[in-house]
A and B are shown apart, each in its own frame.
Chain A
Amino acid sequence: MTGAEILIQTLIEQGVTDVFGYPGGNVVDIYDALYRAQEAPRHILAAHEQGAAHAADGYARATGKTGVVIATSGPGATNLVTGIVTAMLDSVPLIAITGNVPTDMIGRDSFQEINITGVTMPITKHNYFVTDVRELADTLREAFRIALSGRPGPVLVDIPKDVQIAECEYTPAEALKPAVQKKAAQSEIDAAVKLINKAKRPYLYIGGGAASREMGAQIMAFAEKTDAYIGCSLMGLSLFPNAYERFLGMEGMHGKYASSMANHAADVIIGIGVRFSDRATGNAQKYAPQAAIIQLDADLAEINKNVPVDVGIVGDIKDALERIAQKCKAKHHPTWAKEIAAFRAAQAQMEAAAEKCSGEMYPAKLFRAINRLKTKDTIMVTDVGQHQMWAAQYSELYKPRHFISSGGLGTMGFGLGAAIGACVGTGEKAVLITGDGSFGMNLTELATAVTYHIPVVIVIFNNGVLGMVRQWQTLFFESRYAATGLERKTDFVKLAEAFGAPAGRAQSIEAFEALLQKAMAQDGPFVIDACIDKDEIVLPMFEADSSVDGIITQDPRQV
């Protein structure tokens, strides 16, 4: 078999059913092998390699399987970079396969040559430059194992053209199982139990690590037993139904008031699969001043990285929480419940007050319509900016892996590719919440959505500005709107139609609901240009070097 054929056979052997990519001179052999192979994975041709990378990422987030993306050497490979880092920062298992110039052309600045292993060294879990076809199959197997082991992440395999052509015996093998995670030390479990048993105001702070292990039910049972409340990071969303009484929503810079306040007031915080990111904690020095912190994580290097913790528990977090739960006493904290109720009441009041001052197309109202018209299976996908935070605050979520968003890297332009990947992976409908800024970055993937008849409803929160940065300018730069007014003449309805997708514009809630109803009934993509006010801001908010002490809960222009 040729190297290219071995690659395809190894993908099949690993259970890969879908790959995303874009052909080019140095992967043409791989594409030929894909074309000729029996039972070859389905290939989704993106419009741009970045879109393909985000699609493979969205596919992985929605399914829990490893996403696969293929790109050619040089610009094809460098176009993957943003997609790879996005996956890295959110711990998404991804295999990026790139072609390269033949080994004897390496290092000569040959046409479309780039040292992509060098470029991606800091942004992958690991990467490989395969120089011998005899090592290709095992390298790929190892790459898949690494991507899914421990804390998942992206792995890149760069294959020069001569290795793709070279022939070698192919020996089939079973897919390697991800490395078994170590069990946490008993002493740490005991230390955690001791703290939790003494707690009066326990708070569970849940992140992507718990989401990728789908620990929702386990955590809810633990919260019941210990009478704790739950908040989450952006990556922890969709693990708990919004209606669950102990769930307070996302915390942090733009988190729910009740969740951030509960975190601040807690005396014991149990962080599960979180890295205490600055967007969740604010100023780390001011974070949760009264709390003893217990951190459960698969990654040893996360313990004490951002916030010093009292107990660090490393290893299999599912097993660790199980062992903690067994030893914890059942508790009842009526005072804590009262405090939480007060935070919630204050939050409801703030939200009602903000809505009262708002215009017709108030984002929370749009989300009410979306929540009503989508089903429990609809996957919510976002881009990055104000709309993302509104989506995090207001989306009704029911199932894990049903809220897909670029958290760590905050990649504008992530959404459309990710939504395509999520739809391909699950066969479900997706609603993409995007903004005119984010959508503008990778809207070319509309072509992909139309070609493959992807059931994605694209809702553009169109305010004609880069809303999140503009919000900072409003609040902290005396309304000096440097470079955030888009003043573009883009007609998104015509644009969607030019791509072959039906579309409509909504300037009222009624029009929006009517369009959304139509869109949800469609099988393919549908674009809704929802015109919102450029002066809407996301509340609450606290500044990066601040904490809940500096929380802004009311639009200062309305005071």
Chain B
Amino acid sequence: MRFVISVYVENKYGVLARVSGLFMRRGFNINSLTVDETDDAAYSRITITLNGDENDKNQLVNQLKKLQNVKVVRELHKDTSLERELMLIKVKNSRENRAELLQACDIFRAKIIDYSTDTLCAEVTGEPSKINAFIEIMKPLGIVEMCRTGIVALERTHYIAEELDK
């Protein structure tokens, strides 16, 4: 199963190393990890996706809670939260595939951000499943290289910083 965990941490030197080091030494299988400052510069938010079972997830959450700089750990559920990912993808641009390429970009609402005689670079945002589907379509057309951010996610109504006072 895939789990999305949102971690509110103090925005301090070495915190990311503490969190990622924990994954390594406890043998957690992390799919993606994104991190940046929040609206309050004193805190950063780390979004993690984990592959594993319920027990793996509980261990991850409980181990994270033991780190001194970690302030809130929440599991985000698909039906109550929003997930997005961004991808930059560079594809071969040739006379033969151009029409299909442009059409696919249009359907997926991918933004073309660079265009040259050999390659085309598109920016796609959406849920990971949409990104995956776009990659599948691009594969036969010739992917040159690509880069994904990993998931960022927010709960629809709950505000994580409210947990700070608890």
Do A and B come from the same complex? yes
Segment from A300-308, A345-353, A490-498 that makes contact with B: A300-308
How far apart are the CA atoms of A118 and B13 in the complex, in Å? 11
Q: Are B18 and A301 in contact (CB under 8 A)?
A: no
- CB neighbours (8 Å) of A65 from chain B are none
Q: Are B62 and A126 in contact (CB under 8 A)?
A: no
Q: Are B14 and A305 in contact (CB under 8 A)?
A: no
* Residue of A122, A146, A308 most packed against chain B (CB within 10 A): A122
Q: Is there a chain A Cβ closer than 8 Å to B58's Cβ?
A: yes
Q: Is there a chain B Cβ closer than 8 Å to A299's Cβ?
A: yes
- CB neighbours (8 Å) of A122 from chain B are 21-22, 25
Contacting residues of chain A (85-121) with chain B, CB-CB under 8 angstroms: 117-118, 121
Interface string of B26-67 (1 = CB under 8 A from A): 000000000000000000000000000001001100110111
A129 touches which of B14, B55, B63, B65 (Cβ 8 Å): B14
Q: Is there a chain A Cβ closer than 8 Å to B147's Cβ?
A: no
Q: Are A125 and B68 in contact (CB under 8 A)?
A: yes
How far apart are the CA atoms of A299 and B66 in the complex, in Å? 8
Contacts A121-B18, A304-B55, A304-B58 hold; do A129 and B66 have CB atoms under 8 A apart? no
Contacts A300-B65, A304-B55 hold; do A117 and B21 have CB atoms under 8 A apart? no
**Closest chain B residue to A131 by CB distance?**
B13
- CB neighbours (8 Å) of B22 from chain A are 122
Least distance between B11 CB and chain A CB atoms (Å): 16
- CB neighbours (8 Å) of A303 from chain B are 62
How far apart are the CA atoms of A121 and B15 in the complex, in Å? 10
Least distance between B56 CB and chain A CB atoms (Å): 11
Interface residue total, chain B, C-beta cutoff 8 A: 16
Q: Is there a chain A Cβ closer than 8 Å to B107's Cβ?
A: no
How far apart are the CA atoms of A125 and B14 in the complex, in Å? 14
Give the secondary structure class of B's interface: helix
* Residue of A125, A129, A305, A308 most packed against chain B (CB within 10 A): A305
- CB neighbours (8 Å) of B55 from chain A are 304, 308
Interface string of A49-79 (1 = CB under 8 A from B): 0000000000000000000000000000000
Least distance between A106 CB and chain B CB atoms (Å): 12
Q: Are B68 and A305 in contact (CB under 8 A)?
A: no
- CB neighbours (8 Å) of A305 from chain B are 59
How far apart are the CA atoms of A71 and B68 in the complex, in Å? 24
Q: Is there a chain A Cβ closer than 8 Å to B17's Cβ?
A: yes
Contacts A125-B68, A126-B68, A146-B68 hold; do A301 and B63 have CB atoms under 8 A apart? yes
B17 touches which of A121, A126, A304 (Cβ 8 Å): A121
- CB neighbours (8 Å) of A299 from chain B are 66
How far apart are the CA atoms of A299 and B65 in the complex, in Å? 10
Least distance between B74 CB and chain A CB atoms (Å): 15
- CB neighbours (8 Å) of B17 from chain A are 118, 121
How far apart are the CA atoms of A340 and B100 in the complex, in Å? 78
Least distance between B151 CB and chain A CB atoms (Å): 24
How far apart are the CA atoms of A152 and B48 in the complex, in Å? 28
- CB neighbours (8 Å) of B18 from chain A are 121
How far apart are the CA atoms of A118 and B14 in the complex, in Å? 9
- CB neighbours (8 Å) of B65 from chain A are 300-301
Inter-chain pairs besides A126-B67, A129-B14, A301-B66, 6 sampled, C-beta below 8 Å: A117-B14, A121-B18, A129-B13, A300-B65, A301-B65, A304-B55
Q: List residues of A whose CB falls within 8 A of some B CB.
A: 117-118, 121-122, 125-126, 129, 146, 299-301, 303-305, 308
Q: List residues of B whose CB falls within 8 A of some A CB.
A: 13-14, 17-18, 21-22, 25, 55, 58-59, 62-63, 65-68
Q: 8 closest A-B pairs (Cβ-Cβ)?
A: A301-B62, A126-B68, A300-B62, A122-B25, A301-B63, A121-B21, A122-B21, A301-B66
**23 pairs of residues in contact across A and B, judged by CB atoms under 8 Å:** A117-B14, A118-B14, A118-B17, A121-B18, A121-B21, A122-B21, A122-B22, A122-B25, A125-B66, A125-B68, A126-B67, A126-B68, A129-B13, A129-B14, A146-B68, A299-B66, A300-B62, A300-B65, A301-B62, A301-B63, A303-B62, A304-B55, A308-B55
